[in-house]
């Protein structure tokens, strides 16, 4: 808890959905923050989105009182952002808001599946389990799958048996790093920092990407690839390794299905593989040397391991899971798994070092199975849900903005009673009946893990919550107490202690130090011992072509791919409205085949089968001719949200949204 002892520098940490999970020192009087120099991974450096935390806490447009809707919902309109009052929201007391909500939930007590809980990763941690615990105790409907990383997670689990990678600092031991589409300048600044440090020490870096991401500045070499086709390039390399007899018998013995995989790969046509990924043979041959120095190779290839980075971008495709599985297989077969300086990095689970606590509701029937909707097609699922969803609780998720087909999602929220725990009047809050304002990070206490490194951080409360804002845990505890029968939570300190059990440190000592390192081997799968029950590795069973693949001979209606990529300056949709004025920008290659058909002087639209949005164009010569890049997460209500024209498609594994398989074209008026 915040003590008024005159002390101004407090330890806290970032709870945003970012792999780096930085530790902060906060000057609570000056309302500034900096990197905690004592934290080994944060290493004295924090990124722009973290450093701007107080801008968000102190933003004039922040919602600081509970609000209820007094006029009927009008639905979300693209490019038409009306204000709170115009939309018909009025301030109400916390008691008033929670009583209304409790009445609705009590009325649905016998039909818990008519209640839907939609939770994102907008806030993370141990106390953050509160909403998950309350709604699982009620037996409410829930969501599964993801908009982010589940295809790659499922792929890694199928391959290795577990989601695991080397300690990120082991990148410094790599002789070479091959980066399959991680945006080193934007998505994980500390991975970027490690790569930069490794390069200073002599490590060479090659990036494979469709371009438009500034990877040239981070790499000694860049190979441009057709979007969504990395599995074909990896398969070509694996085939060459097989032909050249370049695979060690130790590796072969560590695999459960070597013969079947060998047969699959040897049946593939090498020219066809390179045609599909649009990579020149000489570039593919060069890449082979980055993985497996061949007899007679130049001396800088002759020694040392190759580490593989896999960005989330490569798996947001219809066959995104296969993309990851073929890259992992390449890493293994070239002798780079289970090795210092090698490894294949996707991510780890950020919750794996945190204990889970439970809510308790004596007298309430225990739910054994809950109705669950796949998140990538949530809008459409709700349309058909039987029994229909009557009540929706959204927290930590700008779901209307982030799911494909945002307008359908907004429409699906029109009928049910929607509660949104949200600090800003974003696309989702606009669809709510009640908006509850949460205390944000630095305004409340929390413990968080990372999906990249092995530290658990203390996110201490450094300042008081603004206005009437309250921590999500407190909101949910008060709501639980109002339900019949009531749902009770353990005290916050008890939750935090349970959260720290896997770390094995005392809560007070942890609060004072601000972080703890957890015990994981620095090399994953050492000795080629994998986490499947038999200890063996598993290869992908198939290599599938993309049904939407662009065929050079055809003249498809929507020949381009829309890559809605991460933006460096803000966290997802947590962007001030003032930064979303004018038309959103797209990047296209000067060789883009659609450029000939548009009038550069007139209005230009980005069109998909779902609709179109007005944009302005910037040329980027590094981009693949068939790729269009838009920075994601702009608000639909401000005309900046690409999900208004992105269709719901699902990846081959993990029920992940295949967002970058979206086909598109450029249009003039
Ligand atoms: N500043 C900031 N940082 C963030 C976030 C944020 O919103 N803002 N979000 C966080 C979250 S939740 C996530 S999941 C991560 C996202 O982290 P990233 O994975 O870096 O982000 P993406 O934009 O999904 O993917 C970016 C990269 O994928 C490449 N790419 C796209 N398609 C392909 C392909 O077919 N093949 C190859 N080889 N490359 C391809 C693009 O060129 C781009 O460089 O970032 C996290 N960090
Ligand atoms: N087109 C397209 N769409 C995508 C992606 C893509 O590549 N292309 N990638 C996606 C990815 S990688 C991800 S991870 C998801 C992200 O989707 P979201 O998880 O919806 O991400 P945000 O837009 O950051 O929304 C999080 C919300 O949580 C709120 N919040 C912050 N702190 C707190 C708190 O303490 N309590 C509560 N109650 N709320 C809080 C913020 O104000 C914010 O509105 O969407 C994705 N959507
Ligand atoms: Mo994500």
Average pLDDT, the chain: 94
Residues found in the chain:
669
Rounded Cα–Cα distance for residues 183 and 567 (Å): 10
User: Does the C-beta of 50 come closer than 6 Å to ligand 1?
Assistant: no
Who wins on pLDDT, 37 or 246?
37
* Predicted confidence (pLDDT) per residue in 448-480, tens digit: 999 999 999 999 999 999 999 999 999 999 999
User: Does the C-beta of 228 come closer than 6 Å to ligand 2?
Assistant: no
User: Does the C-beta of 124 come closer than 6 Å to ligand 1?
Assistant: no
List Cβ neighbours of 292 (8 Å cut-off, separation of 6 or more). Answer: 241, 246, 334, 335
List Cα–Cα distances, 378 to 143, 375, 407, 640, in angstroms.
Answer: 8, 5, 12, 21
Residue 479 is predicted with a pLDDT of 98
Rounded Cα–Cα distance for residues 447 and 298 (Å): 49
pLDDT at 2 over 60: no
State the closest ligand 2 atom to the C-alpha of 424, by its place in the atom list counted from 1: 42
Rounded Cα–Cα distance for residues 569 and 56 (Å): 13
User: Does the C-beta of 17 come closer than 6 Å to ligand 1?
Assistant: yes
For residue 38, the 8-state DSSP code is T
Contact 407, 636 (CB under 8 A): yes
How is 481-528 classified by DSSP, letter by letter? Answer: HHSSS--B---HHHHHHHHHTTTT--HHHHHHH-EEE----SSTTGGG
* 587 C-alpha to ligand 3 centroid (Å): 22
How is 357-410 classified by DSSP, letter by letter? Answer: ---B-TTSPPPS---EEEGGGHHHHHHH-SSPP-EEEEES--HHHHSSSHHHHH
- Number of neighbours of residue 385 by Cβ within 10 angstroms: 17
* 525 C-alpha to ligand 1 centroid (Å): 26
* 221 C-alpha to ligand 2 centroid (Å): 33
State the closest ligand 1 atom to the C-alpha of 228, by its place in the atom list counted from 1: 35
* 401 C-alpha to ligand 2 centroid (Å): 8
Nearest to 13 by CA among 505, 491, 511: 511
Rounded Cα–Cα distance for residues 414 and 408 (Å): 10
Model confidence at 75, pLDDT cuts 50, 70, 90, reads: confident
Q: Which of 49, 122, 183 to mutate to test the pocket of ligand 1 (most atoms within 8 A of CB)?
A: 183
How is 220-273 classified by DSSP, letter by letter? Answer: SEEEE--TT-HHHHHHHHHHHHHHTT---HHHHHTBSSHHHHHHHHHTS-HHHH
What value does the mean pLDDT take over residues 134-163?
98
Who wins on pLDDT, 562 or 81?
562
Rounded Cα–Cα distance for residues 417 and 73 (Å): 10
Rounded Cα–Cα distance for residues 418 and 395 (Å): 11
How is 520-536 classified by DSSP, letter by letter? Answer: --SSTTGGG--SSTTS-
* Predicted confidence (pLDDT) per residue in 11-62, tens digit: 999 999 999 999 999 999 999 999 999 999 999 999 988 889 999 999 999 9
Residue 81 is predicted with a pLDDT of 81
Rounded Cα–Cα distance for residues 520 and 526 (Å): 12
Contact 486, 125 (CB under 8 A): no
Q: Which of 121, 312, 630 to mutate to test the pocket of ligand 1 (most atoms within 8 A of CB)?
A: 312
Rounded Cα–Cα distance for residues 538 and 363 (Å): 46
Model confidence at 74, pLDDT cuts 50, 70, 90, reads: confident
For residue 465, the 8-state DSSP code is P
Q: Which of 397, 459, 469, 586 to mutate to test the pocket of ligand 2 (most atoms within 8 A of CB)?
A: 397
Rounded Cα–Cα distance for residues 80 and 83 (Å): 10
* 661 C-alpha to ligand 1 centroid (Å): 14
Residue 324 structure tokens: 């990851």
Within 13 Å and on the Cβ side, how many CA atoms surround 366?
Answer: 5
pLDDT at 498 over 80: yes
Look-up of token digits 């658990």: 456
* Predicted confidence (pLDDT) per residue in 504-545, tens digit: 999 999 999 999 999 999 999 999 999 999 999 999 999 999
Residue 335 structure tokens: 């002798």
Rounded Cα–Cα distance for residues 116 and 389 (Å): 7
What proportion of the chain, given as a percentage, has pLDDT over 70? 96
Rounded Cα–Cα distance for residues 327 and 320 (Å): 11
Ligand having the closest approach to the CA of 406 = 2
**The pairing of beta strand 67-69 with beta strand 89-91:** antiparallel
Residue 300 is predicted with a pLDDT of 47
> Looking at 82-91, 202-211, 430-439, which range is the least confident one?
82-91
State whether the Cα torsion 490-493-494-498 is positive or negative.
positive
Within 13 Å and on the Cβ side, how many CA atoms surround 53?
Answer: 28
Nearest to 495 by CA among 451, 439, 444: 444
User: Does the C-beta of 122 come closer than 6 Å to ligand 2?
Assistant: yes
* Predicted confidence (pLDDT) per residue in 560-615, tens digit: 999 999 998 899 999 999 999 999 999 999 999 999 989 888 899 999 999 999 99
For residue 11, the 8-state DSSP code is E
Q: What is the dihedral of CA 57, 402, 451, 512, to 10 degrees?
A: 20
pLDDT at 298 over 70: no
Look-up of token digits 């890449």: 287
Rounded Cα–Cα distance for residues 496 and 490 (Å): 10
State whether the Cα torsion 170-175-179-185 is positive or negative.
positive
Contact 399, 120 (CB under 8 A): yes
State the closest ligand 1 atom to the C-alpha of 627, by its place in the atom list counted from 1: 32
Look-up of token digits 């410094």: 172
Residue 295 is predicted with a pLDDT of 60
* 228 C-alpha to ligand 1 centroid (Å): 13
Going by alpha carbons, the residue nearest to atom 39 of ligand 2 is 396
State the closest ligand 2 atom to the C-alpha of 566, by its place in the atom list counted from 1: 7
Rounded Cα–Cα distance for residues 525 and 17 (Å): 27
H/E segment holding residue 517: strand 515-517
Residue 447 is predicted with a pLDDT of 98
Residue 184 structure tokens: 């080193």
Using a CB cutoff of 5 Å, list residues around ligand 3, an ion.
148
Contact 643, 404 (CB under 8 A): yes
Ligand having the closest approach to the CA of 48 = 1
List Cα–Cα distances, 307 to 211, 217, 252, in angstroms.
Answer: 21, 19, 20
User: Does the C-beta of 563 come closer than 6 Å to ligand 1?
Assistant: yes
Residue 1 is predicted with a pLDDT of 45
What value does the mean pLDDT take over residues 320-348?
97
Q: What is the dihedral of CA 170, 172, 177, 182, to 10 degrees?
A: 70
State whether the Cα torsion 392-395-397-398 is positive or negative.
positive
> Looking at 91-95, 364-368, 513-517, 610-614, which range is the least confident one?
364-368
Going by alpha carbons, the residue nearest to atom 44 of ligand 2 is 398
Model confidence at 669, pLDDT cuts 50, 70, 90, reads: confident
Contact 454, 518 (CB under 8 A): yes
């Amino acid at each position: 808890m915040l003590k008024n002892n005159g002390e101004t520098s407090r330890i806290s940490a970032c709870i945003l959905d970012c792999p780096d999970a930085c530790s902060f020192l906060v000057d609570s009087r000056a309302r500034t923050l900096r990197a905690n120099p004592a934290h080994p991974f944060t290493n004295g450096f924090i990124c722009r989105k973290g450093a701007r935390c107080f801008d968000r806490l102190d933003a004039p447009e922040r919602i600081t009182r509970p609000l209820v809707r007094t006029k009927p919902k009008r639905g979300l309109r693209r490019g038409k952002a009306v204000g709170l009052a115009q939309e018909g929201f009025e301030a109400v007391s916390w008691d008033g808001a929670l009583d209304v909500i409790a009445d609705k939930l009590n009325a649905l007590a016998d039909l818990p599946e008519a209640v839907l809980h939609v939770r994102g990763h907008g806030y993370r941690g141990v106390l953050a389990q509160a909403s998950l615990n309350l709604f699982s105790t009620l037996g409410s409907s829930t969501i599964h799958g993801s908009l982010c990383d589940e295809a790659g997670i499922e792929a890694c689990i199928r391959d290795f048996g577990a989601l695991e990678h080397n300690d990120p600092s082991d990148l410094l031991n790599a002789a070479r790093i091959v980066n399959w589409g991680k945006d080193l300048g934007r998505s994980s600044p500390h991975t970027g920092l490690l790569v930069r440090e490794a390069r200073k020490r002599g490590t060479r870096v090659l990036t494979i990407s469709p371009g438009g991401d500034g990877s040239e500045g981070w790499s000694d070499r860049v190979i441009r690839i057709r979007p969504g086709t990395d599995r074909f390039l990896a398969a070509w390399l694996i085939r060459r390794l097989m032909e050249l007899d370049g695979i060690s018998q130790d590796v072969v013995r560590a695999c459960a299905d070597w013969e079947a995989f060998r047969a699959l790969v040897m049946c593939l046509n090498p020219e066809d593989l390179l045609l599909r990924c649009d990579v020149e043979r000489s570039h593919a041959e060069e890449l082979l040397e980055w993985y497996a120095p061949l007899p007679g190779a130049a001396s800088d290839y002759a020694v040392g391991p190759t580490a593989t980075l896999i960005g989330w971008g490569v798996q947001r495709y219809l066959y995104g899971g296969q993309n990851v599985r073929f890259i992992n297989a390449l890493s293994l077969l070239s002798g780079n798994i289970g090795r210092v300086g090698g490894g294949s990095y996707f991510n780890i689970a950020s919750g794996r070092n945190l204990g889970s606590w439970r809510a308790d509701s004596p007298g309430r029937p225990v739910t054994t199975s809950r109705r669950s909707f796949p998140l990538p097609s949530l809008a459409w699922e709700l349309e058909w849900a039987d029994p229909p969803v009557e009540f929706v609780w959204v927290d930590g998720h700008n779901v209307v903005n982030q799911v494909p087909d945002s307008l359908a999602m907004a429409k699906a929220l029109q009928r049910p009673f929607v509660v949104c725990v949200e600090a800003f009047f974003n696309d989702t809050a606009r669809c709510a009946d009640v908006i509850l304002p949460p205390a944000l990070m630095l305004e409340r206490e929390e413990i968080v893990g990372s999906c990249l490194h092995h530290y658990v951080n203390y996110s201490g409360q450094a300042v008081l919550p603004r206005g009437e804002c309250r921590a999500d845990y407190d909101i949910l505890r008060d709501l639980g107490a109002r339900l019949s029968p009531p749902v009770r939570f353990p005290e916050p300190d008890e939750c935090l202690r349970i959260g720290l059990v896997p770390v094995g440190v005392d809560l007070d000592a942890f609060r004072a130090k601000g972080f703890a390192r957890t015990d994981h081997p620095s090399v994953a799968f050492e000795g080629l011992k994998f986490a499947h029950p038999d200890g063996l590795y598993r290869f992908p069973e198939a290599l599938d072509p993309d049904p939407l693949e662009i065929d050079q001979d055809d003249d498809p209606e929507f020949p381009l791919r829309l890559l809605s990529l991460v933006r460096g300056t803000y966290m997802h949709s947590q962007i001030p409205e003032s930064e979303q004025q004018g038309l959103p920008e797209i990047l296209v290659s000067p060789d883009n085949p659609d450029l000939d058909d548009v009038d550069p002087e007139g209005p230009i639209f980005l069109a998909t089968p779902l609709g179109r949005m007005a944009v302005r164009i910037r040329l980027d010569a590094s981009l693949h001719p068939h790729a269009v890049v838009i920075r994601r997460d702009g608000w639909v209500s401000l005309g900046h949200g690409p999900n208004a024209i992105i269709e719901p498609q699902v990846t081959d594994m993990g029920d992940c949204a295949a967002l970058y398989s979206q086909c598109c074209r450029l249009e003039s008026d």
